Structure 1
């Protein structure tokens, strides 16, 4: 009973993110219909779509869980999330506006590896390999760029109207940030509660191993899709 009790926060946090995997990055029929038939500026709907996409974007959220897992100060959390936001916002806008086409399976496989990287980094693996800690902010920024291309690739699957494209992309990007904020706030509440108990540090290794396992699972799933598509 004790083991079940102290591991409950791990299960709650990860299941909230993984349980929506069947729908993550998927686009429902109503959204598909809107994206393919919309004409002109539609800031509000694109904002909503961006927020919904991030809330169900389990791979992005798993990476962010790894990023904030050992961050205790609000200032540090804001700095790291800002680096991630700058990265994915830049490539989201640039990727769609310049029409850079990247295979969706490949970019999502890299995103899976970003989760593995962060979990391994949290376990001190990178420091053991290189003898010093790599620049963590730089790594978050770089992986943010890949995550942004993942979002851009998903949007490019739909041949929506180019009129008002920049404004619509700004709406989508703002929606992504709102969705990210809401999901992250929920996760931070759970983590803050968990940190009040000794099991947080006791099971930190297990949690990050689970993150790595989820990342490898996503990586394998995307590579399989690439080779059989």
Structure 2
């Protein structure tokens, strides 16, 4: 089921920070979409109707859902070392009171309900490395691991998949490892190539399937005209522009509130689609407009990377790789659109039967999002 929630774009990827102590203890704080998880849905799959029903329904129903979610998290979460599991000693899961306090504090949007949980425990005895498994319904997550005397490790953890191992140094020595014991060898930090692969994948997923607003914008570009060259020029202008503001924002040079960026992104979708309705020719000034909208979209991409964090040692690698992933996602959208309707792009009825109806739908969605994102939430 397709959701047209105005906040679909800013439903952030769950972000966690785990701190490893020298005595083998660990503590993790995870910020995530509590209602989506309570409904047993990933953030991209959940729709606003069930979440609103949960918020507006009886307190005992919400409490029961949160209790079930806490049990699910504790059951699926794991701290591992070479196949051995650590312990979970305490889990502080968001309560009904936490949800109500969040609801009262929100002035711009009711959803998503982003709250934090904390979990504490101990690594397996004698651990030399550490991996994490997060519950599958969190979806793709970002995990920063803070260790003593070592750089912060930033991992992109796929749903329900054990993360890559990171080396740890504990004060308690392991019990007599054998020469062939994998734990006897230090675990290397992720290489530059590994960081690049992770962030290319993250950028791609942010477009396909998670970036519905960016998908609609690219489809708006695709629908005007029937020649591939001008289309690629528009996509190139858009890519160059969002690359500029993404880099400037991540280096702290340009900052703009999401409450401004998100309505502008929605308006860019509506504008491009409306232009498709009122003209059947690609004017030269459209490249300038697309470039300007690309600058705005870059600020939206930056919000994702801000939530995820970037590895300090490979900051530039991760930044460029994320941007390449975004570009790959955009090209994938164009490729799929070409497969779907490209055969008919030069038919005389193509504009009437495909371009106009599709553009009307895209423009309506863009306007709906722009209004919803611009208006403060009133309970």
TM range (shorter): 0.7 to 0.9
Given the alignment of the two structures, is residue 155 of structure 1 paired with residue 305 of structure 2, yes or no? yes
Output the aligned Cα RMSD.
2.8
What corresponds to 1:15 in structure 2?
A: none
Q: 1:63/1:30 Cα in 2 relative to 1: closer, same or farther (>3 Å)?
A: closer
User: CA contact under 8 A between 2:200 and 2:322: conserved in structure 1?
Assistant: yes
What corresponds to 2:359 in structure 1?
A: 208
Given the alignment of the two structures, is residue 73 of structure 1 paired with residue 238 of structure 2, yes or no? no
Count of aligned pairs:
204
Q: 1:75/1:196 Cα in 2 relative to 1: closer, same or farther (>3 Å)?
A: closer
Work out which of the residue numbers 171, 185, 193 in structure 1 matches 2:335.
Answer: 185
Given the alignment of the two structures, is residue 223 of structure 1 paired with residue 374 of structure 2, yes or no? yes
Gaps of 5+ in 2: 15-137, 146-152, 155-189
Report how far residue 220 of structure 1 moved: 2.1
Work out which of the residue numbers 106, 113, 124 in structure 1 matches 2:267.
Answer: 113
- Where relative contact order (Cα < 8 A, 6+ residues apart) is larger, the structure is 1
User: CA contact under 8 A between 1:50 and 1:175: conserved in structure 2?
Assistant: yes
What corresponds to 1:12 in structure 2?
A: none
What corresponds to 2:166 in structure 1?
A: none
What SS is found at the alignment partner of 2:304? Answer: helix
Gaps of 5+ in 1: 1-17, 128-132
In structure 1, distance between residues paired with 2:198 and 2:257: 26
Offset from partner CA, 1:95-114 (integer Å, 9 cap, x none): 11225332223211100000
Bigger Cα displacement from structure 2, 168-177 vs 96-105: 96-105
What corresponds to 1:88 in structure 2?
A: 242
Structure 1 segment 1-229 matched on structure 2, within 5 A? 19=2, 24-26=9-11, 27-28=13-14, 29=138, 31-34=140-143, 36-37=144-145, 38-39=153-154, 41=192, 42-55=195-208, 56-98=210-252, 100-124=254-278, 135-195=285-345, 199-203=349-353, 204-224=355-375
What SS is found at the alignment partner of 1:33? Answer: strand
Task: Compare the two structures and name the one with the higher strand fraction.
Answer: 2
User: CA contact under 8 A between 2:245 and 2:254: conserved in structure 1?
Assistant: no
User: CA contact under 8 A between 1:25 and 1:53: conserved in structure 2?
Assistant: no
Q: 1:94/1:194 Cα in 2 relative to 1: closer, same or farther (>3 Å)?
A: same
Q: 1:154/1:33 Cα in 2 relative to 1: closer, same or farther (>3 Å)?
A: closer
Offset from partner CA, 1:59-108 (integer Å, 9 cap, x none): 11111111121221121111111111111111112211225332223211
TM-score (structure 1 length as normaliser): 0.77
User: CA contact under 8 A between 2:226 and 2:345: conserved in structure 1?
Assistant: no
Bigger Cα displacement from structure 2, 91-100 vs 209-218: 91-100
In structure 1, distance between residues paired with 2:10 and 2:239: 18
Report how far residue 197 of structure 1 moved: 5.9
